[in-house]
Amino acid sequence: MRLKGKTALVTGGASGFGAGIVQAYAREGARVVVLDLNGEGAARVAAEAGNGALAVAGDVTRQADIEAAVGKAVDAGGRLDIVVNNAGWTFRNKPMLEVTEAEFDKVFAINVKSIYLMTNAVVPIMRRQKEGRIINIGSTAGSRPRPGLTWYNATKGAVNLLSKSMAVELAPDGIRVNCVAPVIGETALLESFMGVPDTPENRAKFVGTIPLGRMSKPSDIANACVYLGSDEAEFLTGVVLPVDGGRTV
Ligand SMILES: NC(=O)c1ccc[n+]([C@@H]2O[C@H](COP(=O)([O-])OP(=O)(O)OC[C@H]3O[C@@H](n4cnc5c(N)ncnc54)[C@H](O)[C@@H]3O)[C@@H](O)[C@H]2O)c1
């Protein structure tokens, strides 16, 4: 077991990549707290994952909800070893001039401000421990943008970059910060990213740009998060790891 005895907090763990991360973390011996707006989904995923996993219904854009989840994780494990900032959202793929101000604010709040809030909540704890691991879910969209997602792409450019900046600033505290950058994947957000119905023909257009010939799956992202959260990655920080079947080569 590669995460035995660790306590982890995973945001957006009720579905998609996050659910895969929760399952893999529990399987590798971590005690996981799942924070998601979808409390029912989070509870289901936590129950399926086992190993004492707990669910918290909450919004990553609200400091109080983040603090409640962090408190639950610390109460459960006596410490907080790993945080995976995975919760994310996008407006549907469309021309940039059609994105409303409300959508702009929402995508930056969920994808970027959430990491600011989580950082404020967990860094003091990790500093006291003199150890911690933070993994942010960025995207290939932050380095190889596709049209129709400009403001979403901007949030992921921010996540990819802030991960490196956090890494250098927090290294003296023994806190490692890394980023996983998935290519388009089979999750609830797929149709929003594509901006067209989820049909085999439409999928084929996206898959055609991925050298390994398929979309990403939750298990691909989860495996990368297990590695980066484990002791095996003790000398890695500030890495933006594409999990993309070669898309960004
Ligand atoms: N699916 C892709 O193609 C893809 C590619 C690259 C990166 N990503 C990123 O992966 C991450 C996970 O997305 P996914 O594709 O698994 O989508 P998903 O919709 O299946 O999962 C996202 C989860 O985040 C939760 N969430 C949304 N807003 C929240 C909030 N304010 N507070 C708490 N929880 C909230 C949702 O309830 C959901 O459970 C996101 O950061 C996304 O941007 C996805």
Walk along the chain (249 residues) and give the pLDDT tens digit of each residue: 999 999 999 999 999 999 999 999 999 999 999 999 999 999 999 999 999 999 999 999 999 999 999 999 999 989 999 999 999 999 999 999 999 999 999 999 999 999 999 999 999 999 999 999 999 999 999 999 999 999 999 999 999 999 999 999 999 999 999 999 999 999 999 999 999 999 999 999 999 999 999 999 999 999 999 999 999 999 999 999 999 999 999
Question: What is the extent of the structural domain holding 81?
Answer: 7-240
Q: Is the CB of 60 under 6 A from ligand 1?
A: yes
16 belongs to a structural domain: yes
What's the CA-to-centroid distance between 189 and ligand 1, angstroms? 7
Pocket test for ligand 1, best of 93, 110, 189 (most atoms within 8 A of CB): 189
1 belongs to a structural domain: no
Amino acid identity of residue 181, one-letter, is: A
Beta-bridge partner residues of 11? 35
Q: Is the CB of 3 under 6 A from ligand 1?
A: no
**Phi (first) and psi of residue 177, to 5 degrees:** -130, 120
**pTM > 0.85:** yes
2 belongs to a structural domain: no
Question: Is 152 a catalytic site residue?
Answer: yes
Can you tell me the distance from the alpha carbon of 181 to that of 188, in angstroms, rounded to the nearest whole number? 17
What's the CA-to-centroid distance between 42 and ligand 1, angstroms? 13
Q: How many domains does the chain have?
A: 1
247 belongs to a structural domain: no
246 belongs to a structural domain: no
202 belongs to a structural domain: yes
85 belongs to a structural domain: yes
154 belongs to a structural domain: yes
Q: What's the CATH number where 22 sits?
A: 3.40.50.720
What's the CA-to-centroid distance between 128 and ligand 1, angstroms? 30
